[in-house]
Amino acid sequence: MSVAIDKVSVRNADATRQKILDIAFEEILLKGYQGLRVDGVLKKAALTKGAFYHHFSSKKELGLAVIDEVLKPWVEERWIEPLEDFKNPIDGLIELFHEARDEITVKELHTGCPLNNLTQEMSPLDESFRTRIAGIWDDWHNALVKTLERGQKDGYIRASAKPNNVARFLNAAVEGIIGQCKCYMDDKAFYEAGECLQDYVEGLRT
């Protein structure tokens, strides 16, 4: 066993910080930011106060870091980056939505969408939370607009559709649907409302 590997396993600041972030993210999804307990995160991470306050100056800073370093990359990977690969945005969006549906396991049903959860709870609590989260929404929105405009240019989407409006509507509809599943702890809303959403998207074809 090499010395280098032992070094990494004994002390690794980056890994420690990341572990705290990941667990904090999970905790926020389950209990909300206000329900998150620093002690609880530390217990799950098998760390102590010393470690936590070495990496973060406060619980609030942890919240900000979770938004910037966990939530934002997740949204980019899950909802934004796939958009770029669509040849026909209509088909792509429908498939993306189906993928999201399949991704929701029974266990995750009452968890809801990470972006929407943090948005609804954290954005009213603190202005610095809100602006950062709003930035993520903007990123997603802008990427959707770009994709829709490209779809129009390439002749897949009817010219009468307004990319800006459609993008906002799609964002809202998806979040609303997932929010329902969370309350019902049931994915029927995903299938039922999803059918209408698909109809709407189909209606955008040229």
Partner DNA sequence: TTAATAACAAACCAACTAGTCTGTCAAACT
Partner DNA sequence: AGTTTGACAGACTAGTTGGTTTGTTATTAA
In the list 63, 112, 114, 151, the residue contacting a second copy (rule: CB under 8 A) is: 112
Three-class DSSP labels, 38-105: HHHHHHHHCCCHHHHHHHCCCHHHHHHHHHHHHHHHHHHHHHHHHHHCCCCHHHHHHHHHHHHHHHCC
In the list 25, 56, 70, 119, the residue contacting a second copy (rule: CB under 8 A) is: 119
Measured CA to CA, the distance from residue 120 to residue 198 in angstroms comes to 25
Instruction: Establish if 60 lies at the interface with DNA (CB under 7 A).
Output: yes
Residue type, 200: Y
Q: Which stretch binds DNA (CB under 7 A): 35-43, 147-155, 167-175, 188-196?
A: 35-43
Instruction: Establish if 72 lies at the interface with a second copy (CB under 8 A).
Output: no
Instruction: Establish if 67 lies at the interface with DNA (CB under 7 A).
Output: no
For a second copy, the closer of residues 117 and 147 by Cβ is 117
For DNA, the closer of residues 55 and 141 by Cβ is 55
Instruction: Establish if 117 lies at the interface with a second copy (CB under 8 A).
Output: yes
Q: Residue 34 to residues 31, 37, 122: CA-CA distances in angstroms? A: 7, 8, 8
